Structure 1
Amino acid sequence: MDGSNPHNRFACDRNLTSFDHPPAPQVGAGGRTGNAWAPTPRDVEKEKKLFAGQMKSGINFEKYASIPIETAGNNVPFPMQSFETSTVHPLIKANVILAGYSNPTPVQKHAVPIIDGGQDLMACAQTGSGKTAAFLLPILSRNFKDGPETEGPRYPGVVFPSTLILAPTRELAMQIANEAKKFTYRSFARAVVVYGGTPINMQLGDLERGCHLLIATPGRLCDLIERRRVSLSKLKYLVLDEADRMLDMGFEPQIRRIVEEEDMPRSRQTLLFSATFPREIQILAKDFLRSYVWLAVGRVGGAADDIAQTILQVSGTAKRDKLVNLIFSDKDLRMQDPKNLALTLVFVQTKRSADTLTSYLREKKIPATSIHGDRSQAEREAALASFRAGRTPVMIATDVAARGLDVPNVTHVINYDLPGSIDDYVHRIGRTGRAGNIGRATAFYSDTNFPIARALAETLRQAKQPVPDFLKNARFASTGGSGGGGGSFGFGNGGPRRNYGEPLF
């Protein structure tokens, strides 16, 4: 449906006052008349907490209009032109304004009307492209239009969420939950997040207070299902976010059990989001989705053009000194203007390296923290909070933080240790250059990184970045690294097929 159709518009008062008294309940996209409800009054203090620290659109945000888009499938709707003229529920529009969203990103322009129209979706988009809002906004909009569920049979201690969002890591699940709380503000809908690595009792208590939208890691959800505390029998919407990462982490058996062996209705709407599209994801899409729409925004698995990439040839013994020099030469990092933070994220391969490098930086009087799998959940949350606030503007991380984690104001990503997969490299540097902001990415390359040389050089070339001579020479003999080849693109309705090793656009 074209969001510019005047018959489908809702009035949107930028002062938000019109939403204190919403229009009569609309007929939801699912085709049934919603139950009457009204948003709760605004709470200014709550708004300060919910919507503080929003990332502003960068100077290159308008460049998003020229990013190539590819869709395939039956009855693909027109993209929406703006949030204000879209068909989403008025309360969503109000919360979008509070969240500081001015223009929809390409994935939002296309995904919102597809999801709002009830179609299954397989979406591939660059990291930092606004994928979370792309599925939250239309799902919550349809929930608001339908209104609260009428009371059915109740079972003590069991919740029946209408939406399930699966995410690979605790950090990503918490991030999605934080976004969901913004968009459910003043509504009847309640979002709950559950994940492993923390005592389950507090999460059980949270679930018992009500759950419309459940964000979960696969392992913890399986635990709750086994305890008969969660039923998927009333599920309407299933979202697999960072699906490629979930498969990389070995979650496929749990995902298949949740989707194929539990009481999830086959009539649900399924949305699969992935930054890359290897053969394993194609199989998952084929098994879980029905007549889906394929959406590719930019190069599949490609790095954003708003990231200035630099590859430095540095031997292992010289890495620490080079890192210190890079940090001390960063004027924005040293100044740390509280109103315009400049954060640096450094990636290493091992947990031990994260701890030893953090200690070394602290010895050099550089405020640094670390995040990796051996730190407790409380320690990881504290490290992220300190990093976000700029108290420790340098964070050393393993790949636990590489995918999906959205930390505003990361201006520089440093690959202290290059990964073995070009997909992981793209995900790592995608932590900067978000929402149209300019970002920097620096990588330390040595002879041990030879297997990734060809794929790295190609990634630089596609992003119109300079390819250093040492990388040009190495790439001719390189195999290209893992994770970047094989397979083909399979469209949901017999559309065109491509070799994954070729650029999409």
Structure 2
Amino acid sequence: MNWSKGGPGGKRGFGFGGFSLSGGKKEEPHVNQKAHNSFGASGSAGGYGKNQQLPAFYKIGTKRANFDEENAYFEDDEDESSAADLPYIPAENSPTRQQFQSSGGGGGGGGSDSEDDPLDAFMAEVENQAAKDMKKLEEKEKEKKLVKFLCSVQEAYFRYMAENPTAGLTQEEEEENVDYDSDGNPIAPTTKKIILPLPPIDHSEIDYPPFEKNFYIEHEELNSLTGTQVVELRQKLNLRVSGAAPPKPCTSFAHFNFDEQLMNQIRKSEYTKPTPIQCQGVPIALSGRDMIGIAKTGSGKTAAFIWPMLVHIMDQKELEQGDGPIAVIVCPTRELCQQIHTECKRFGKVYGLRSVAVYGGGSMWEQAKALQEGAEIVVCTPGRLIDHVKKKATSLQRVTYLVFDEADRMFDMGFEYQVRSIASHIRPDRQTLLFSATFRKKIEKLARDILIDPIRVVQGDIGEANEDVTQLVEVLPNGTDKWVWLTRRLVEFTSSGSVLIFVTKKANCDELATNLQQEGYSLGLLHGDMDQSERNKVISDFKKKSLPVLVATDVAARGLDIPSIRTVVNYDVARDIDTHTHRIGRTGRAGEKGVAYTLLTHKDTTFAGDLVRNLEGANQSVSKDLLDLAMQNSWFRKSRFKGGKGKKLNIGGGGLGYRERPGLGSESSVSFCLTSDYLTCLHLKHADIHKNSGKEKCFHAYDVISFV
């Protein structure tokens, strides 16, 4: 078929340059052959119109072929990129390229297939950090919840303790809160202490077995004494006795009629003769009478109630399983409790008697175990004994011998209700003895409520210092001079024996001890903040002389019996004259001599007046400096001008009771009551042979002074 006018030998084409169809049967490129043949079959030489449409149709076919080719090109490119999976290579001289090469990704322009992508690494790091932050946040939330829980628990605890201030405390632990003030000194509380007493008991419903308490047989040498001789003997012993028919005082251990076992132990304890309080107190106790014993410190009053107690116990049947003690000794402090317990063991071992010490600070379990095993003697502080009775560790049903030592101190410290509770739980027909170094009038009235027809024995003046102790007073300008004075004299003091230094406050105690240790002194420290084991160790070392010096607050002033103490230094003055008396009584024990130094400054005018009266009552010299200091006090100066001083105003009271009080009569009437005529009258009156009405009036005058 001929498409163009080129003639039989010309080229065929669509009439535009650059594109021609080859002759023969050669297939036309990019043209669908079937479609071309169909158009060619229907076409003719005169059919130009159809030849005009062929280029347009052909153009459409060509465009479609070109569009497909372009799509095929892009599809081939995508196939090649996906199949190649080439590694990432940064551009030349770029910072990323340098980092890539330094990390080992270079070398030949390629990296390992296992190399992590930096973006993936960064995202992984972000995810790890986010996980860590989330974990910290969870921990903080848990911590907040825990803190909130603990705060609620703590708040509930404080609320409960505010509503129940004594929760978790035993009676003795509550007692110790009163025992020592904020400065470590035993004083009376400012408010009344709530004490849980033992439950009431009806003694009429209990069938108590009878017991014997009068074992005293008067020695024939005493039986032969006349009334005048008895009066003279009491004057010589400086004894004042009141009460119905008191026994005569003894002058020898033979008069006590103790058996040989006890006498051997007394001799081993280096007793040579009885002390004045023992001369009168032991016969009274052996007689089964109730007694109030008042004696100066170091007078041997502890033995005065221990020896008759042993006789009392040995007369009763042995303890059975579950029985409580036969004798109970109650004292205010742990130190005194331990001291008395030691004496009970020393003398009780000759009869095989057992003693148990029950006090605060010790193990409740161990004490209860010892009580349940059985002990004839219990030495205790009041609160701890009540605890054990409530817990049924012991019983007071077999108690027939009751002693309150340092009774005034127990009442002063607020233990009156505990004392009364203990006394009310013991059979009414018991024998009760109260001993103390001081005994004020109001305390004496309270004590008489638990005694029956007592005999009152006073050895020396109430509150009087021990005459075996030489008292020396130093008046210094200020507190700094006290330190200079002490450091200059301490070596001299330690060369003669142990030294006990008293201060008022715990803070001062620590400070003074630290300063002395820095000066090279070996010493012990004793105050109310120390626990019981520490205090026991310090006292033990001081007794063994391992520690030559002991610095202490007044917690050590009562009941501390260490014969090796030769010097007492009152570095700070005592709170009152009674406490001062007990301080200096730590030396000069059992007839030994001692020296007590008291350091005063110009601010101690009030105490200086009390000290002058005390020294004059004990026949001690008063220096001019001390007297001048005391005269700066107005009440002392007024009383001095009235002529009242010394022993004459000390009758019937102790310590601060030296001042003249209305209602006691004139000075002459008091002096009259101390004459031998009065003492003879007193003895004759009790013997029911008095006939002189004037002497009878004299008795009533003294009766007012002694008992009001």
Give the counterpart of 1:168 among 328, 332, 335: 332
* Contact 2:469–2:595 (8 Å) recurs in 1: yes
Give the counterpart of 1:121 among 291, 315, 322: 291
* Contact 1:29–1:117 (8 Å) recurs in 2: no
Comparing 219-228 with 394-403, which one deviates more in the overlay?
A: 219-228
Give the counterpart of 2:344 among 159, 173, 180: 180
Cα separation, 2, equivalents of 1:231 and 1:485? 43
Question: Is residue 2:446 matched to residue 1:273?
Answer: no
* Contact 2:262–2:350 (8 Å) recurs in 1: no
Corresponding position of 2:618? 463
Cα distance change on mapping 1:343 and 1:202 into 2, 3 Å: same
Give the counterpart of 2:627 among 467, 472, 476: 472
Shift of 1:474: 3.4
Q: Secondary structure at the match of 2:254?
A: coil
Cα separation, 2, equivalents of 1:448 and 1:200? 46
* Contact 2:329–2:403 (8 Å) recurs in 1: yes
* Contact 1:160–1:230 (8 Å) recurs in 2: yes
Cα distance change on mapping 1:150 and 1:423 into 2, 3 Å: closer
Cα separation, 1, equivalents of 2:427 and 2:355? 21
Corresponding position of 2:414? 250
Cα separation, 1, equivalents of 2:705 and 2:609? 17
Question: Is residue 2:367 matched to residue 1:212?
Answer: no
* Contact 2:325–2:375 (8 Å) recurs in 1: yes
Cα distance change on mapping 1:31 and 1:79 into 2, 3 Å: closer
Cα separation, 2, equivalents of 1:440 and 1:365? 24
Q: Secondary structure at the match of 2:621?
A: coil
Corresponding position of 2:364? 200
Corresponding position of 1:329? 492
Cα separation, 2, equivalents of 1:255 and 1:407? 28
Q: Secondary structure at the match of 1:425?
A: helix
Cα separation, 1, equivalents of 2:604 and 2:214? 55
- For 1:322, the aligned partner's letter is W
* Contact 2:327–2:377 (8 Å) recurs in 1: yes
Shift of 1:162: 1.1
Corresponding position of 1:227? 391
Q: Secondary structure at the match of 2:622?
A: coil
**Larger % of helix: which?**
2
Q: Secondary structure at the match of 1:414?
A: strand
Corresponding position of 2:472? 310
Q: Deviations over 1:360-413 (max 9, x none)?
A: 111111111111111111111111111111111110111111112211111111
Corresponding position of 1:484? 657
* Contact 1:313–1:446 (8 Å) recurs in 2: yes
Cα distance change on mapping 1:78 and 1:302 into 2, 3 Å: same
Cα distance change on mapping 1:401 and 1:421 into 2, 3 Å: same
Corresponding position of 1:285? 447
Give the counterpart of 1:30 among 194, 213, 224: 213
1:9-408 alignment to 2 at 5 Å?
A: 30=213, 66-144=236-314, 146-149=315-318, 151=320, 154-155=321-322, 159-260=323-424, 262=425, 264-314=426-476, 315-330=478-493, 333-334=494-495, 342-408=497-563
Corresponding position of 1:434? 589
Q: Deviations over 1:96-139 (max 9, x none)?
A: 12222111111111111100001000011010000110000011
* Contact 2:214–2:287 (8 Å) recurs in 1: no
Cα distance change on mapping 1:181 and 1:348 into 2, 3 Å: same
Cα separation, 1, equivalents of 2:705 and 2:212? 36
Cα separation, 2, equivalents of 1:240 and 1:450? 35
Shift of 1:209: 2.2
* Contact 2:324–2:371 (8 Å) recurs in 1: no
Cα distance change on mapping 1:447 and 1:222 into 2, 3 Å: farther
TM-score by structure 2 length?
Answer: 0.57
Shift of 1:459: 0.8
Q: Deviations over 1:184-242 (max 9, x none)?
A: 11314211111002221111122122111110011211211221222212211111101
Shift of 1:247: 2.1
Q: Secondary structure at the match of 2:603?
A: helix
Shift of 1:65: 9.3
- For 1:81, the aligned partner's letter is T
Cα separation, 2, equivalents of 1:203 and 1:271? 25
Percentage of matched positions with identical amino acids? 37
Cα separation, 2, equivalents of 1:236 and 1:436? 33
Corresponding position of 2:573? 418
Comparing 417-426 with 67-76, which one deviates more in the overlay?
A: 67-76
Cα separation, 2, equivalents of 1:401 and 1:91? 33
Shift of 1:150: 6.5
Cα separation, 2, equivalents of 1:256 and 1:30? 22
Cα separation, 1, equivalents of 2:479 and 2:409? 28
Corresponding position of 1:7? none
Corresponding position of 1:451? 606
Q: Give the count of matched residue pairs.
A: 426
* Contact 1:420–1:451 (8 Å) recurs in 2: no
* Contact 2:295–2:460 (8 Å) recurs in 1: yes
Comparing 121-130 with 182-191, which one deviates more in the overlay?
A: 182-191
Cα separation, 2, equivalents of 1:359 and 1:324? 13
Q: Secondary structure at the match of 1:119?
A: coil
Cα separation, 2, equivalents of 1:180 and 1:280? 31
- For 2:485, the aligned partner's letter is K
TM-score by structure 1 length?
Answer: 0.79
Shift of 1:479: 4.4
- For 1:289, the aligned partner's letter is L
* Contact 1:422–1:484 (8 Å) recurs in 2: no
Cα separation, 2, equivalents of 1:478 and 1:433? 34
* Contact 2:213–2:431 (8 Å) recurs in 1: no
Structure 1 segments unaligned to the other structure (5+ residues): 1-27, 33-63, 337-341, 501-505
Cα separation, 2, equivalents of 1:204 and 1:111? 33
Cα separation, 1, equivalents of 2:615 and 2:535? 32
Shift of 1:417: 0.6
Cα separation, 1, equivalents of 2:584 and 2:274? 22
Cα distance change on mapping 1:119 and 1:482 into 2, 3 Å: closer
Shift of 1:88: 2.5
Shift of 1:321: 2.0
Comparing 123-132 with 195-204, which one deviates more in the overlay?
A: 195-204
Q: Secondary structure at the match of 2:501?
A: strand
- For 1:285, the aligned partner's letter is A
Q: Deviations over 1:236-282 (max 9, x none)?
A: 1111101122123222222122223x3x1110111011111212321
Cα separation, 1, equivalents of 2:334 and 2:348? 21
RMSD: 2.6
Q: Secondary structure at the match of 2:349?
A: coil
Cα separation, 1, equivalents of 2:353 and 2:298? 26
* Contact 1:116–1:138 (8 Å) recurs in 2: yes
Cα distance change on mapping 1:150 and 1:196 into 2, 3 Å: closer
